[in-house]
Structure 1
Amino acid sequence: MNGLWYYAIAFAIIWAIALIFKSKLTNHGLEVNFPLLMWKTKRLRGFIDRLANLSPKFWRWFMNIGIFISFGAMIVMTYLLLSSLSTIFETPSVSLVIPGVEIPGSPIYIPFVYGIIGLATVLIVHEFSHGILSRVEKINIKSIGLLLFAVLPGAFVEPDEDDMNKAKKTSRMRVYAAGSIANISLFVVAFLITMSISSFVIPETFHEDGIQIERVLEGTPSYNILQPGMIIESLNGQNITDGDTYSNAISTLKPNEIINVTTDRGDYSFKAGQNPNNNSLGYMGVQAVKNYEINDNIDNTYGNTLPWVWFSILELFNWIAFLNLAIGLFNLLPMKPLDGGHLLEELLDYKLPENIVKPIVTLISSFMIFIIAISLVAGFAGGLF
């Protein structure tokens, strides 16, 4: 069954329970107003206060730097999005990613468990950072909670609107920047962990031995021909010994040519398809990883099972790093309701009157949303056809 069906069934069950037991759930902080489902609590406000009071001066200075980083990232992300317009129908710049689901046209597949954990870290550090900076700036928090907009999950920290409006512009900018800066900071930590594991632990524990097929995408040329777990030994006559030789081999593939693959389980042939992200390249529909073997000294000491846990840890932190960076940077695009749109509005409001700022931000937001929507549709359509 396609992964999307599991999500659809889960959301259907959630909404059915929420609507049937609406009156009872309301007493437990749940608000049901289709298509919005919100659960609010005040229990974590004390915890956020304690974090904010650890060092208010540090949080302010850290987020002062964060404001400059946020605007720098906003400029870079806007430039990349605009420069992608010329190739938007060939290589879409924005892809929808859902853990455990293959999205047509998306080059990224996120494993379900790692993806859910990674997204949880994104939401937790993002919203808690908004809350911490709100309290540092003496802005009260009305509630904290989770939400479901139709089928889109999320989390929120709800600051007091009157306190936000009364706060200084720099205070509001610190609050808006806090979420993405926290995501980027967690990316740095997770990235350093992955680099440490891949640079020191993996080479000491394993040695590289060819390329292994991790996944075969449904409906692609190699589907039902190649199988996960096979080790690719040669591709169109080129010996495959490591990641570099594999990358060189697949870069020479052309659409509709016959691909000859030798694996540890036999020889296979099939016709190459067209790469959904580059029409001039051939496509097998295979996701492959380096094949590793445990070093003899490690095998003798720890056995043949325990050392493989390192790869699970490595992949987990890889996805934590990727999702925090990708979502943190995306959130800094100059469009409302994203934090980047609020930051832009506050910046423009320093010099321009409100009756000019609002239309400018609305226009920029609409333009950005249009580009993102076109990129998503182009990628999805390209993946289907």
Structure 2
Amino acid sequence: MGLLGTLTYAILGILIFWALISILGTSMRSESLEIAPFQIIWRTKKFINFIDRIGRKYQRFWKIYGDLGIITGFGGMIFVLYYFAKQAYNIIRPIKPVTMPSVQLVIPGVTIPLVYGLIALAILVIVHELSHGFVARSEDIPLKSVGLLLFIIIPGAFVEPDEDQLKKAPLRSRLRVFGAGSFANFVVALISLLLVNGIALAFEPHGVEIAGTIKDSPAYNVLQKGDVIIGINGMKIETLEEFMEFMNKTRPNEEITLTVIRNKKIINISIILGEHPERAGKGFIGIYPTQHWISKIGFDKPLTIVLTTFYWIYVLNFGVGLMNLLPVIPLDGGRMLIDTLTELSPKFGKAIGYSIMLISLLLLGINLIPAIRGFVG
């Protein structure tokens, strides 16, 4: 099943789920539970005391933390605008435009793994919102509620500050609150990256795993997804680099013998290579190769699960944390930009801010073009 087919079934399942929620919604609604199209929100005041206690007890720490969030926030804003502008130019330029997506839609089970993605997203929103809450209380800004939400299929958490009090707070206090969320995501991303690198030391390369085959290629219906190539023509293959180096020396119609691990059994498979579609005179097998790893200390599956979990925690916290700094309301980056410009120039600040937002939305739209093309084929 292709990506478009998977997406179609995913959308159908989501629509059925929300249709049932809509039917049952009348009996489920309460003062603390709000049900809207594709959205469920549960509010409570139970955790406000905990957030208040942590925010007030370590007030000095959270103020420094918030200041670091301001610096990181504006730095991230400049970086994401520069990156989007650079990628937008590469996408729309007439000579060799970029076709790989610079922005990917986050859809658990479709564009990211379902379980790992949901775990990473849950951690992302919890640390993001708690940071907003802790910093808000350190700045004497009261909280109205905290809660959980489900938006389409993405779980979330939120801290709801008193907006009237937030607007009356000094600019620096507001910027601390806005910048704290993404800063928390970057801290979690850094910790996760260090853990990934540490766990990775327990692994060593052991062959080339086949992530898929190209239709009508020599490997199609011969090799299978999950096969691990550990040798070619009797030569041991451990790394992806060794595999690519060997294949770069092959020619069309050349027969090679692959030593493959399939279902924990070692088998030999002979394949006659085709001609590479983009490099005349070069052999072509037609697979999507990835590096295969095994643990040096055993416990391959548990370690792989832990490694993959922290990898996705790193990827989503960094990526979404950075996207949250795009200067577009209601994102934190947009609120930081508008509040700062309005404070600096009450007459022209808002107009300048909204102009930057329009440019940001245009750049985001251009950067999404490759990702959308990937869905529709």
Count residues in correspondence: 355
Alignment of 1:299-318 (within 5 A): 306-318=299-311
d(CA) in 1 for partners of 2:349, 2:229: 58
Which one of the candidate residues 206, 209, 230 is aligned to 2:206?
209
- The answer to whether the 8 Å contact 1:345/1:357 transfers is yes
- The answer to whether the 8 Å contact 2:143/2:160 transfers is yes
d(CA) in 2 for partners of 1:29, 1:196: 43
Partner residue, 1:34? 37
Partner residue, 2:228? 231
Partner residue, 2:281? none
**1:3–1:144 distance in 2 versus 1, CA, 3 Å:** farther
Render the CA deviation track for 1:200-244: whole Å, top value 9, x for unaligned.
xx15xxx4332222x327869555443133122468999743133
Partner residue, 1:244? 241
Q: Which amino acid aligns with 1:85?
A: A
d(CA) in 2 for partners of 1:138, 1:36: 30
Partner residue, 2:177? 175
**1:33–1:112 distance in 2 versus 1, CA, 3 Å:** closer
Deviation at 1:187, TM superposition (A): 0.8
Deviation at 1:358, TM superposition (A): 2.2
- The answer to whether the 8 Å contact 2:342/2:350 transfers is no
- The answer to whether the 8 Å contact 1:118/1:319 transfers is yes
Partner residue, 2:89? 86
- The answer to whether the 8 Å contact 2:122/2:156 transfers is no
Partner residue, 2:129? 127
Deviation at 1:7, TM superposition (A): 3.9
SS in 1 for 2:158: strand
Pairing 1:44–2:47 present: yes
- The answer to whether the 8 Å contact 1:230/1:263 transfers is no
Alignment of 1:176-191 (within 5 A): 176-191=178-193
Partner residue, 1:358? 350
**1:229–1:35 distance in 2 versus 1, CA, 3 Å:** closer
Residue segments in structure 1 that go unaligned for 5+ positions in a row? 103-109, 275-281, 299-303
Render the CA deviation track for 1:72-110: whole Å, top value 9, x for unaligned.
1211121111111222242432122323215xxxxxxx3
Pairing 1:194–2:196 present: yes
d(CA) in 2 for partners of 1:84, 1:327: 18
- The answer to whether the 8 Å contact 1:211/1:232 transfers is yes
Q: Which amino acid aligns with 1:96?
A: L
Range with greater deviation from structure 2 (26-35 or 119-128): 26-35
Q: Which amino acid aligns with 1:133?
A: V
d(CA) in 1 for partners of 2:101, 2:79: 17
Which one of the candidate residues 304, 313, 316 is aligned to 1:320?
313
- The answer to whether the 8 Å contact 2:129/2:159 transfers is yes
Residue segments in structure 2 that go unaligned for 5+ positions in a row? 92-96, 261-266, 279-283
Pairing 1:158–2:155 present: no
d(CA) in 2 for partners of 1:252, 1:83: 35
- The answer to whether the 8 Å contact 2:40/2:150 transfers is yes
Partner residue, 1:278? none
d(CA) in 2 for partners of 1:140, 1:334: 25
Deviation at 1:19, TM superposition (A): 2.0
Pairing 1:72–2:75 present: yes
Deviation at 1:28, TM superposition (A): 5.6
Render the CA deviation track for 1:182-211: whole Å, top value 9, x for unaligned.
000001111111122123xx15xxx43322
Partner residue, 2:104? 95
After TM superposition, the score normalised by the length of structure 1 is 0.79
d(CA) in 2 for partners of 1:68, 1:169: 14
**1:43–1:4 distance in 2 versus 1, CA, 3 Å:** farther
Q: Which amino acid aligns with 1:12?
A: L
- The answer to whether the 8 Å contact 1:260/1:267 transfers is yes
Q: Which amino acid aligns with 1:61?
A: I
Alignment of 1:258-277 (within 5 A): 262-264=258-260, 265=267, 266-268=269-271, 269=273
Which one of the candidate residues 368, 371, 375 is aligned to 1:379?
371
Partner residue, 2:60? 57
Deviation at 1:40, TM superposition (A): 1.9
- The answer to whether the 8 Å contact 1:220/1:285 transfers is no
Q: Give identity over the alignment, percent.
A: 34
SS in 2 for 1:59: helix
Render the CA deviation track for 1:8-32: whole Å, top value 9, x for unaligned.
3553344234322333322262223
Say what the alpha-carbon RMSD is for the aligned residues.
3.4
